[in-house]
């Protein structure tokens, strides 16, 4: 088994930056393990049938609405475009569904993006310095997913109960890391790798 190279290997370093406060760092950045990402994309005419098959394959009760995510075992499924679901799971996870071309298309995108995990009381404040989306609780509660942009980069932001993640295409990984750490320093930043 060949090790996957984390896009931020050699760039992201553990450390503590910015003003100290009694409450601890405002933001903690970490790198989630490299995982799998399968895109499942039905056609307009097969959408309901494929969604049902995908839900069954994942053991999920129902698939999430656009912009939302659902958990299914060790996987997360996000409805990222009207006709596209993303199924995120551990490294090496197989495509959850085999589709006939008449039903839709599946695609491995596991290496396309670089993710940084953001936690801490100032996590949303940090992301607001990069993305123009509404991150308030009522608009972006846990299990939300958004395709947006930051500093001219296509950016995905997702939120679970425990953390946010900011994704950019892999080639932008260092640029986004520099922006995240720069903006986060004012809140007190811990990089935990």
Partner 1 sequence: MSGFRLSRGGRIDRAKRLAFEWDGSQHYGYQGDTLASALLANGERILGRSFKYHRPRGVMSAGVEESGALVHLWRGARRIPNAKATQVELIQGLEAFGQNAWPNVRIDVGAVNSLMGRFFGAGFYYKTFMGVLGRQTWEWMFFEKIIRRAAGMGSASKEPDPDHYEIVNDHCDVAVIGSGPAGLAAAETAAQAGLDVVLIEQDFALGGSLLSNVADTVEGDTVEDWQAGRLAGLSSKGGRVWNRTTAFGLYDHGVVGCLERVTDHMVDPHHAIPRERMRILRARRVIMATGALERPIAFGDNDRPGVMLGHAVRTYAERFGVAAGRRIVYAACNDEAYDDAASVAEKGLEVTLLDPREVVPDHLAAMADEAGVRLLKGYVPVEAHGRRGVTGLMIGRHLGGGKARSEREIGCDTIAVSGGWNPAVHLLSHRGVRPVWSDRHLAFLPGDAGREPIHVAGSAAGVPDTEGAALSGRAVAEAALRALGKGGAKSRKAPAACPAGETQPIYEVRVKAPKLKSFVDPQNDVTADDVRLAEREGYVSVEHLKRYTTLGMSTDQGKIGNVIGMALMAEATGKTIPETGTTTFRPPYTPISMGAVAGTERGTHWRPTRRTPMHAAHEKLGGKFVDAGAWKRSWYYPKTGENLTTASMREARIVRDTVGMVDVSTLGKIQVQGPDAAEFLNRVYSNAFAKLPVGKARYGLMLRVDGVVFDDGTTWRLSETEFFMTTTTANAGPVMLHLANLLQTWWPDLRVHISSVSDHWGGVAVAGPKARDVLMDAFEGIDFADQAFPFMGVREGMLKVAGGGTVPARVARLSFSGERAWEVFCPADYCPAMWETLLRKVQAAGGVPYGLEALDILRVEKGHVTARELDGRTTATDCALGGMESKKKSYIGSVLKEREHLTRRDRPTLVGLRPVTEGEQMKAGSILCAQGEVVGDGLGWVSSIADSPVMGERIGLGFVRGGLTQWDGKTILAESPVDGKSVEVKVVSPHFFDPDGGRMHG
Least distance (Å) between residue 1 CB and partner 1: 6
Among residues 14, 52, 90, 136, the one that binds partner 1 under rule CB under 8 A:
136
Name the CA radius of gyration of the chain, rounded: 17
User: Residues 10-49: x/- map of binding to partner 1 (CB under 8 A)?
Assistant: x------xxx--------------x----x-x-x------
Q: Measured from the CB of residue 59, what is the shortest distance to partner 1 in angstroms?
A: 25
User: Which of 23, 33, 73, 101 is close enough to bind partner 1 by CB under 8 A?
Assistant: 101
| Residue 108 within binding range of partner 1, rule CB under 8 A | yes
- Residue from 77, 113, 116, 166 that binds partner 1 (CB under 8 A)? 113
Please, which residues have CB within 8 angstroms of residue 106's CB and are 6 or more apart in sequence? 38, 39, 40, 41, 95, 97, 98, 99
Smallest separation, CB 42 to partner 1 (Å)? 9
- The Cα 43–Cα 47 span in angstroms is 6
What whole-number distance in Å separates Cα of residue 135 and Cα of residue 133? 6
Asked whether position 167 contacts partner 1 by CB under 8 A, the answer is no
> Among all chains, which residue has been given the structure tokens 């809140």?
187
DSSP state letters, 158-173: EE-SS-EEEEEEGGGH
Q: Which residue has the tokens 């750490």?
A: 181
Q: Give Cβ neighbours of residue 27 (< 8 Å, ≥ 6 apart).
A: 118, 119, 120, 122, 123, 126, 184, 187, 188, 189, 190
Which residues of the chain form contacts with partner 1 (CB under 8 A)?
1-7, 9-10, 17-19, 34, 39, 41, 43, 83-84, 101-102, 104-105, 107-113, 125, 128-129, 131-136, 139, 151-153, 169-175, 178-179, 182-183, 185-186
């Amino acid at each position: 088994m060949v090790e996957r190279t984390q896009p931020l290997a050699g760039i992201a370093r553990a450390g503590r930056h910015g003003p100290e406060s009694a409450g601890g760092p405002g933001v903690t950045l970490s790198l989630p393990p490299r995982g799998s990402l399968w895109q499942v994309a039905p056609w307009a005419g097969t959408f309901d049938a494929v969604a049902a098959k995908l839900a069954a394959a994942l053991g999920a009760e129902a698939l999430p609405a656009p912009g939302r995510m659902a958990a299914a075992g060790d996987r997360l499924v996000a409805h990222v475009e009207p006709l596209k679901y993303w199924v995120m799971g551990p490294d090496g996870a197989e495509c959850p569904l085999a589709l006939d071309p008449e039903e839709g298309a599946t695609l491995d995108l596991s290496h396309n993006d670089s993710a940084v995990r953001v936690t801490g009381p100032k996590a949303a404040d940090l992301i607001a310095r990069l993305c123009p989306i509404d991150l308030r609780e009522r608009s972006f509660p846990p299990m939300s997913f958004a395709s947006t942009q930051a500093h001219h980069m296509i950016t995905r932001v997702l939120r679970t109960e425990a953390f946010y993640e900011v994704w950019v295409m892999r080639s932008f990984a260092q640029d986004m890391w520099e922006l995240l750490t720069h903006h986060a320093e004012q809140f007190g930043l811990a990089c935990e790798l």
